[in-house]
Amino acid sequence: MSNYHIKHLEEYYKVYRKSIREPENFWEEIAEEHFVWRKKWDKVLDWDFSKPQIKWFEGAKLNITENCIDRHLATRGDKTAILFEPNNPDEPAEHITYKQLHQRVNQFANVLKEQGVEKGDRVCIYVPMIPELAISLLACARIGAIHSVVFAGFSSTALSTRINDSDCKMVITSDGSYRGAKTIDLKGIVDEALEDCPSVKTVLVAKRIKSNINMKEGRDKWLQPLLDNASTVCDAEIMDAEDPLFILYTSGSTGKPKGMVHTTAGYMVYTAYTFKNAFQYRDNDVYWCTADIGWITGHSYIVYGPLANGATTVLFEGVPSYPDFGRFWEIVDKHKVNQFYTAPTAIRALAKQGTELVGKYDLSSLKVLGSVGEPINEEAWHWYNDNVGRKKSPIIDSWWQTETGGIMITPIPYVTPTKPTYATLPFIGVQPALMDEKGDELKGNQVEGRLCIKFPWPSIARTIWGNHERYKETYFSAYKNMYFTGDGALRDEVGYYRITGRVDDVIIVSGHNLGTAPIEDAINEHPAVAESAIVGFPHDIKGSALYGYVTLKDAGESRDHNNLRKEINQIITEHIGPIAKLDKIQFSEGLPKTRSGKIMRRILRKIASNEMDNLGDVSTLLNPEVVQSIIDNRL
Ligand code: 7RM
């Protein structure tokens, strides 16, 4: 995989044009040159968005773990594949080489087989950020079992819903987990969940916190003794290109979570190729993505993408605030991290701490910074750029989704000139379209609409587990022959894309379409503001009016709130215009967030509209307690 870096903007345009004109030839060349196959494909692409049906590399045979592990053994067997940094900074980091990873994955795979897991079976993985997590994904892939990772911060109800939706036969978990100063009784949560999960026959338990836990006779087994007795040789199951690799649940705006199904070959090709280019990964670099493997970002850009490139990927167990808010920078310094990928919510939390901690460490190893998960506001972008990147490391604001499997719109570092708050240009092979409300495509530049994708890319999710109709309905019915992302975006005068947020976040005030992101951006520039979220609420005259929830950097400091409200509206007027001024501004101690750090505007919208009776399930939030305090202080 040496020679497929894109090196300058002209080359990007050239390669991009080829990928659009001859997508099949383009992806065929990438697939031929950079992966190992047991058998090559008969057909590169077969697709029909109206069904919808998408097949890449049909007829090909492979195993993704041979691409992620075995083929590196000859050239980089002793290179660190996974660099595990524990929660406790005094515990030593663990360097797992490709050779060791190979042995550990094979042993784990043999344990799965011994416990009756077969090709096509679903295995639920509810494990904290320890090496066993990455290894368990790969062990499933080794034997062709379909993994379904559930973020180990979700509740027992969220867990049992997901286990039942895909009839998992086994759950892999741990006796508990560390999160900063806290320990969490994961096994207790699993026990509770399994009261309602008849399909689960076996629970494998990794030891992490060495607490006394309950082991259910006949069902629960300690992992380590089984691994110790397992052979380090396990032939990889030969999979079809379109065999499912994993299911990953993502919550929609309504209904139960959707089990997005990703298949083997296309997912592998696209995550590997995007990883190499979007992060400009070079052979001896140390790469760190701070996401949890429980999210798609961790699947694609902690595990599969990096390992397919023979990279060193950091796996961090802890949180940014423990033992203090300098932890991220301490880790970057300690392991000389070259590429660092995180979320705007983390950047804002760290920016709130000022610059003292970030200044204490040597961050000169950093070459590329990444952002993902939400629109990054201008203030956070500059803080990241100035203090972490020292104005030298390009920020790649990468837009993508669980459904897209890999990065879709992003600058290529040192190739695409960046622009704050812009995800910039489509990645190679990606054909975005902006659509108006009537269903017509908005051609040309300086337009704003709903973001769709016109043509399949290799890692698009193929279906929703057990509900193909819902897949069709959600993603392929809004616009004919297009994949609809659910996001709004604008294209500027040079063709750069800016994601304006989920389209359900668009608020129409007196006939003006207002995206929440630009208003929040403006507010966040106020020096006292840490974060903000804007929603609409019904208004007799304007149709909708704007309600802002604002958290302050120093909540304890007594400030004249009315004065602050005036200043905030003043900034909005300067940045956007008086039309975007807020009718109500509520100061709150926090904003409700998903576990992956996305602000839940849906809940805030209901509170602003006085519809508190049907807030929906708030139990999977990161901070359910702030909801009540926001309700209590509602304006
Ligand atoms: C990777 C991930 C997907 C949703 C997506 C957007 C939002 C993600 C960006 C972004 C603006 C970005 N998958 N989103 N990245 N918005 N700029 N760079 O987050 O399935 O969990 O979420 O996240 O709304 O549709 S996800």
Q: Are residues 451 and 561 in the same domain?
A: no
**What pLDDT, on a 0 to 100 scale, did the predictor assign at position 18?**
97
Task: Give the distance (Å) from ligand 1 centre to CA of residue 461.
Answer: 15
Task: Give the distance (Å) from ligand 1 centre to CA of residue 502.
Answer: 9
Residue after which a domain boundary falls, among 416, 443, 472: 472
Going by pLDDT thresholds of 50, 70 and 90, the confidence category of residue 145 is very high
Give 223-228 contacts, CB < 8 A, sequence gap 24+. 223/111, 223/132, 223/172, 226/111, 226/114, 226/115, 227/104, 227/107, 227/108, 227/111
Q: Are residues 594 and 462 in the same domain?
A: no
Among 155-159, 223-227, 564-568, which stretch is predicted with the lowest mean pLDDT? 155-159
Across 469-486, average pLDDT:
96
Has residue 490 been placed in a domain? no
Token digits for 607? Answer: 């509170």
| Cα-Cα-Cα-Cα dihedral sign, residues 609, 586, 422, 353 | negative
The answer to whether the beta carbons of residues 522 and 578 sit under 8 Å apart is: no
pLDDT digits (tens, 9 = 90+) for 585-603: 999 999 999 888 889 888 9
Has residue 290 been placed in a domain? yes
Going by pLDDT thresholds of 50, 70 and 90, the confidence category of residue 627 is very high
Q: Are residues 466 and 519 in the same domain?
A: no
The answer on pLDDT for 2 being more than 50 is: no
The β-bridge partners of 384 are none
State the residue for tokens 């997508």.
23
**What pLDDT, on a 0 to 100 scale, did the predictor assign at position 531?**
93
The β-bridge partners of 599 are 593
Task: Give the distance (Å) from ligand 1 centre to CA of residue 159.
Answer: 23
Task: Give the distance (Å) from ligand 1 centre to CA of residue 294.
Answer: 15
The answer on pLDDT for 556 being more than 70 is: no
Across 544-573, average pLDDT:
89
* Length of the chain counted residue by residue: 635
Has residue 483 been placed in a domain? no
- For residue 370, the surrounding DSSP H or E stretch is strand 368-371
Has residue 385 been placed in a domain? yes
Query: What CATH number did the domain enclosing 623 receive?
Result: 3.30.300.30
Mean pLDDT of all residues in the chain? 94
Residue 336: how many other CB atoms lie within 10 Å:
13
Among 249, 270, 345, 372, residue to substitute to test ligand 1 (most atoms within 8 Å of Cβ): 372
- The helix/strand/coil state of 53 is strand
Has residue 418 been placed in a domain? yes
Among 205-214, 280-289, 297-306, 619-628, which stretch is predicted with the lowest mean pLDDT? 619-628
Q: Where are the alpha helices (DSSP H) in 90-150?
A: 98-114, 131-143
Cα–Cα distances (Å) from 249 to 78, 154, 157, 260, 453, in that order, read 35, 12, 14, 6, 21
What 3 state SS string does 371-427 have? ECCCCCCHHHHHHHHHHHCCCCCCEEECECCCCCCCCCECCCCCCCCCCCCCCECEC
Query: What CATH number did the domain enclosing 355 receive?
Result: 3.40.50.12780
pLDDT digits (tens, 9 = 90+) for 422-440: 999 999 999 999 999 889 9
Q: How far apart are CA 631 and CA 584, in angstroms?
A: 14
Q: Which domain holds residue 43?
A: 2-472
Q: Which residue has the higher pLDDT, 374 or 19?
A: 19
Of ligand 1's atoms, which has the minimum distance to the CA of residue 423? 18
Has residue 478 been placed in a domain? no
Q: How far apart are CA 493 and CA 499, in angstroms?
A: 15
Residue after which a domain boundary falls, among 472, 503, 533: 472
Specify the residue with its C-alpha closest to ligand 1, atom 5: 401
Burial 378-399 (b: 16+ CB within 10 A, else e): bbbbebbbebbbeeebbbbbbb
Q: Are residues 564 and 423 in the same domain?
A: no
State the residue for tokens 């083997």.
264
Has residue 481 been placed in a domain? no
Residue after which a domain boundary falls, among 421, 449, 472: 472
Task: Give the distance (Å) from ligand 1 centre to CA of residue 157.
Answer: 25
Across 46-58, average pLDDT:
98
> What's the DSSP call for residue 39?
B
State the residue for tokens 């630009």.
518
Has residue 140 been placed in a domain? yes
Residues 6+ apart with CB under 8 A from 564: 526, 528, 552, 585, 587
Q: Which residues line ligand 1 (CB under 6 A)?
A: 250, 295-297, 372-375, 397-402, 423, 485-487, 499, 502, 596
Give 348-357 contacts, CB < 8 A, sequence gap 24+. 348/377, 348/380, 348/524, 348/530, 348/531, 349/320, 349/321, 349/325, 350/320, 350/325, 351/379, 351/380, 351/383, 351/384, 351/387, 352/530, 352/553, 353/325, 355/387, 357/324, 357/325, 357/326, 357/329
Going by pLDDT thresholds of 50, 70 and 90, the confidence category of residue 621 is confident
- Comparing CA positions, the residue from 54, 607, 84, 70 lying closest to residue 307 is 70
Structural domain count, the chain: 2
Q: Are residues 465 and 546 in the same domain?
A: no
- The helix/strand/coil state of 193 is helix
pLDDT digits (tens, 9 = 90+) for 188-244: 999 999 999 999 999 999 999 988 999 999 999 999 999 999 999 999 999 999 999
Q: Are residues 431 and 344 in the same domain?
A: yes
**What pLDDT, on a 0 to 100 scale, did the predictor assign at position 1?**
39
Q: How far apart are CA 93 and CA 439, in angstroms?
A: 53
Token digits for 444? Answer: 């040309």
- The helix/strand/coil state of 463 is strand
The answer on pLDDT for 395 being more than 80 is: yes
What 3 state SS string does 227-258 have? HHCCCCCCCCCCEECCCEEEEEEECCCCCCCE
Percent over 70 (pLDDT), the chain: 98
